Structure 1
Amino acid sequence: MKKEYNRKQDRTPLVDALKQYQEDRPAYFCIPGHRFERGVSRRWLSEEECGFLRYDLTEATGLDDLHQPSGVILESQELMADLYGAKKSYFLINGSTCGNEAMILAVLREGEKILLPRNVHKSVLEGIILSGAKPVYMMPEWIGEEGIYGGVLQQTVEEKLMEHPDCKAVFLVSPNYYGLTSNLKQIADICHENGTLLLVDEAHGGHLYFSDKLPDGALTQGADMCVQSFHKVTGALTQSSVLHIGTGRVDERRVERALKLVQSTSPSYLLMASLDAARYELASQGEDMMEKSLALSDELKEGIRQIPGMFCMNNGITGKYGVQGIDGTRVVIRCGHSSGYELKRRLMEEHRIELELADEKNVLAIITHANTREDIRRFLAALTDIAEQPLEYTGRETDPTGLPETEMVLTPREAYFSVVREVPWEMARGKIAGELIAPYPPGIPLVYPGERLSDEIWNAVEMYRRWGCHFHGPSDDSLSMFEIIEK
């Protein structure tokens, strides 16, 4: 384990308080209205199935208040910070989306610049809209042999900060969806030398801190703040996340004000309790959990390598393409005679195996300690069956490395509040985009709202449109019509 186990992590203060409260069973005249489990529709759950709803409570006596914690929630958050070595940690019940928004709101004011790659989650754009910040974009490195994006090079960050020395923050995604991490330590040093804060979307990396076989986490590499989705691999309920402050460079009061702005005033105690319990499990047996996950992952990868026509992501990309490390619990699989979309479809329809995502070349499987060897054997049998029944390759070879430069006419906030009108796609050339266009894959926006659809960009989008590519962003995903801003 990367850090010595602290026995105080045995405590689960919020879970214990909730258990005691439901055991006491006071006459309850508060929200929520289902009164423990008694008022739940039996169309949904039988009486035997709905025991967990006894813990779906509100800010009742002894249960603290997420927006002004002073009791068991505060204690639970302090235990979380202690486990991760954070200066301060905050429970998020609106997912990592609100954490990304809060980080940006806490460190940027209207008109101030933030440096970020174009493959950030859409919640980052929402945070920029809310804050009025001005984005400065950079590109992660493209790994052509794998058909995915890697990390962001430290020299890319350094060059962009030289061009824009007034950037107040750098925002990175590490690890990305495929488990690839950037060299955050070197990037953090560059940021701090320039008086810039480093914010990290570590939604997919909350487990990295519990095995030396995994890449280092953002907090251990000098990130000023990071957000982790605890529900992704660490056992908490969906929508449960954590925001960590890593250094004293961050104004905690602004973070707390931002969280009050983006979090619900009716926080779910089920979600918060799941964070408390998941933290306890990681503290007490995180190393064993990661060992099991990695062993299952290795078994799957080794089996895939024995199947003709099936391939795993090449570990040799480490040290190249901005990739500092690879999360071994992510298994990226490519089929030589099928697109990722087709492989994912066949695995589900023919073998009832559900995967996290597909792109043009790959499918992604996420392995956790809760998987079993039977899961792995079933998966390998399905891949073997598909390999023995090849279909004509249905994918496209795409190369997103040549994306054209964009012209920002309006900031995302200005674009959001602008009047838009819908025009035929053919008439959108040269106009200011009123909505996002991100061909998926690779998921990199070719244009953000407020940017001009130059001839180069329009032609690039049109190429994807003619291919029948799926788009994220446009209200008309066929792109027959498109929203523009007239200025």
Structure 2
Amino acid sequence: MMDQNRVPILEGLEKIRRNRLVPFDVPGHKRGKGNPELTQFLGEACLSVDVNSMKPLDNLCHPVSVIKEAEALAAEAFGAANAFFMVGGTTSAVQSMILSTVKRGDKIILPRNVHQSVIHALVLCGAVPVYINPQTDKRLGIALGMSMTDVKNTIAAHPEAKAILVNNPTYYGICSDLRSIVEVAHAAGLLVLADEAHGTHFYFGKDMPISAMKAGADMAAVSMHKSGGSLTQSSLLLCGSNVNENYVRKMINLTQTTSGSYLLLSSLDISRRNLALRGVEIFEKVKRFSEYAREEINAIGDYYAYSKELINGDSVYDFDTTKLSVNTLKLGLAGIEVYDLLRDEYEIQIEFGDLGNILAYISVGDKNKNIERLISALSEIRRLYKRENIKLWESEYISPVVAMSPQDAFYADKVSLPLEQCAGRICAEFVMCYPPGIPILAPGECVTKELIGYIQYAKEKGCTLTGPESMDVTSLNVLKGE
């Protein structure tokens, strides 16, 4: 057992600060002295440890001392064989996980409601996705988890597949039967990868859905900066005992910066210690906040803050009760409209709003008065803005038709056409609402009239659409001559 009270990177940084080294290295602000406005904004304590890799502080690309020890402490805390500190967000962790597992022409099984980073990785490496289109909840209009029947049938139909990826959980808190997926996949010789961007707390909370490492998955990308409390853009890549850690490190170094931020690295180290020592207490508080808010919001009327009642033993095997996901359709308002009202009229910033739902991210940083303010605002929005439920788009997910691999389509000869003229063509770029960043269209998928209508509706309701070269999403890149 390692001493989880230790914070090796923080200890190294504090030693450097005490020694008062004279910097003749980068960054050029020289501990903040060269940029007083930045120092005033961020603080001298912050700028004094915004330093470059040096022998006493180790090197993220090839760690041998304090970073190596910090990663070992994280691996033990998360129940993994190895942990890698990532400073490019969970996007970099997801992409490194996939690049370490599949190459051009290899097949990887995954649900279509994946984050854009997954399909971006396929563009980079040339692997071919085999999608399992998730079941949907018609009342909520959201995609659910992976059905075990679909998983088994897909593995049987594609015996040459190398890996399967699972969302654990989805943005809305839906969990698949990860342990059973691992058993079936391993029996067929597949590696199991988990996108746990929203599942850090599964490793430390009590009575939580199962974590990827405990379920026996081979790799997991974990967003420490979400529910784990570290700085934005800091993340972890966890690996099981049968994964070649040296090869994974080599793949990480293909895309991750050689100038790792010690602000991000130290935040991972400090947050790991906090979770290892106090995680159960922290997430019990988060669950209490979430459950109280859920009960109060459901008592308002018309809103539906959903929870474990969705569990069906298959496509919803478990539910993350820390997620305050709320359906707004009975209110006559799209989720994005409630999102905008909360921010613009009540000065409350929630995580996201889509076409039928909102998500308020609750963490240990919340206070009772903030929870009450959110509940009161939602009650007042219902009183002031409720309208007849007409012309609302009721499904958040449309199953795509895949015509070719993302890499082939992304790099193919293409032409830009007005959006309304793209029906029947093959898309050559991404279109997504952000957040959550799940592609509406990805390269290699067929553009349909339904998808065009969805995009136009999302624009009309105020969703932030990203991905296309056309910044206002009035046109789309499609393959030439299709």
Interval containing the TM-score (normalised by the shorter chain): over 0.9
Tell me the amino acid that sits aligned with residue 453 of structure 2: M
Query: What TM-score comes out, normalization by structure 2 length?
Result: 0.92
Pick one of 351, 359, 377 that aligns with 2:354: 359
Q: Which residue of 2 aligns with 1:407?
A: 403
Change (3 A) 1:39 1:486: same
Q: Equivalent residue for 2:478? A: 484
For residues 351 and 247 of structure 2, what CA distance do their matches in structure 1 show?
35
User: Is structure 2 residue 129 aligned with structure 1 residue 122?
Assistant: no
Q: For residues 126-157 of structure 1, what are the alpha-carbon distances to aligned partners after superposition, in whole Å with 9 as ceiling and x for unaligned?
A: 21122111111111221112221111112211
Conserved 8 A contact 1:114-1:135? yes
Q: Compared with structure 1, are the counterparts of its residues 444 and 298 closer, same or farther at alpha carbon in structure 2 (3 Å cutoff)?
A: closer
Distance 2:388 2:109 in 1: 39
Once residues 254 and 419 of structure 2 are traced to their aligned partners in structure 1, the CA distance between those partners, rounded to angstroms, is: 37
Provide the residue aligned with 1:473 in structure 2: 467
Please state how far the C-alpha of 1:165 moved relative to its aligned partner: 0.5
Q: What residue is the counterpart of 1:8 in the other structure? A: 3
Deviation at 1:69, TM superposition (A): 0.5
In structure 2, distance between residues paired with 1:384 and 1:341: 17
Q: 1:67 to 1:465 in 2, by over 3 A?
A: closer
Structure 2 stretches lacking a partner, 5+ long: none
Q: Kindly tell me: are residues 83 and 162 of structure 1, through their superposed partners in 2, closer, same or farther at Cα, counting changes over 3 Å?
A: same
2:67 to 63, 73, 89: 73
Aligned to 1:257: 250
2:187 matched residue in structure 1: 193
* Partner SS for 1:232: coil
Contact kept in structure 1, 2:307 and 2:319, CA below 8 Å: no
CA distance in 1: counterparts of 2:88 and 2:42, whole angstroms: 29
Question: RMSD over aligned Cα, in angstroms?
Answer: 2.3
Instruction: Identify the match of residue 28 of structure 1 among 23, 26, 36.
Output: 23
Sequence identity of aligned pairs in percent?
Answer: 33
Q: Distance in 2 between matches of 1:263 and 1:401?
A: 32
Q: 1: CA distance between counterparts of 2:131 and 2:113?
A: 10
User: Any idea what SS the aligned residue of 1:226 has?
Assistant: strand
Partner of 2:324: 331
Other-structure match for 1:157:
151
Distance 1:468 1:149, change over 3 A: closer
What CA distance in whole angstroms lies between the structure 2 residues aligned with 1:13 and 1:136?
42
Equivalent AA in structure 1 for residue 54 of structure 2: A
CA distance in structure 1 between the aligned counterparts of 2:233 and 2:455, rounded to whole angstroms: 33
TM-score, length-normalised on structure 1? 0.91
Deviates more, 1:22-31 or 1:48-57: 48-57
Preserved contact between residue 135 and residue 147 of structure 2 (Cα < 8 Å): yes
- Contact residue 439 and residue 464 of structure 1 kept, 8 A: no
Q: What is the Cα deviation at residue 427 of structure 1?
A: 4.6
Q: Which residue of 2 is the match for residue 90 of structure 1?
A: 84
SS of 1:115's equivalent in the other structure is strand
Q: Structure 1 residues 316, 449: closer, same or farther in 2, change over 3 A? A: same
DSSP-derived class of the 2:225 partner = helix
Partner residue of 1:228? 222
Distance across 2 between alignment mates of 1:156 and 1:49: 53
Shift of residue 414 of structure 1?
2.1
Q: 1-side partners of 2:69 and 2:57: how far apart? A: 11
Query: What is the one-letter code of the residue matched to 2:269?
Result: D
> Corresponding residue for 2:161?
167
Structure 2: distance between partners of 1:244 and 1:265: 20
CA distance in 2 between partners of 1:441 and 1:203 (Å): 13
- Deviation, 1:478, is 5.8
Alignment check: 8 A CA contact 1:106 1:251 kept? no
Deviations 1:302-339 (A, max 9, x none): 22132233321142111356112211211012343222
AA in 2 matched with 1:212:
K
Which amino acid is the alignment partner of residue 392 of structure 2?
Answer: R
Q: 2:295 aligns with which of 299, 302, 325?
A: 302
Q: Which runs of 5+ in 1 are unaligned?
A: 1-5
How many angstroms apart in 1 are the aligned matches of 2:379 and 2:43?
Answer: 38
> Equivalent of 1:278, from 246, 262, 271?
271
Q: State the partner residue of 1:349.
A: 344
**Structure 1 387/437 Cα, relative in aligned 2: closer, same or farther at 3 Å?**
closer
Instruction: Specify the code of the residue in structure 1 equivalent to 2:352.
Output: L
TM-fit CA distance, 1:432: 3.0
Give the Cα–Cα distance (whole angstroms) in 2 for the partners of residues 429 and 321 of structure 1.
35
Q: Does the CA-based 8 Å contact 1:339-1:393 persist in structure 2?
A: no
Question: How far apart, in 2, do the equivalents of 1:287 and 1:318 lie?
Answer: 24
- Give the conservation status (yes or no) of the 8 Å contact 1:12–1:277: yes
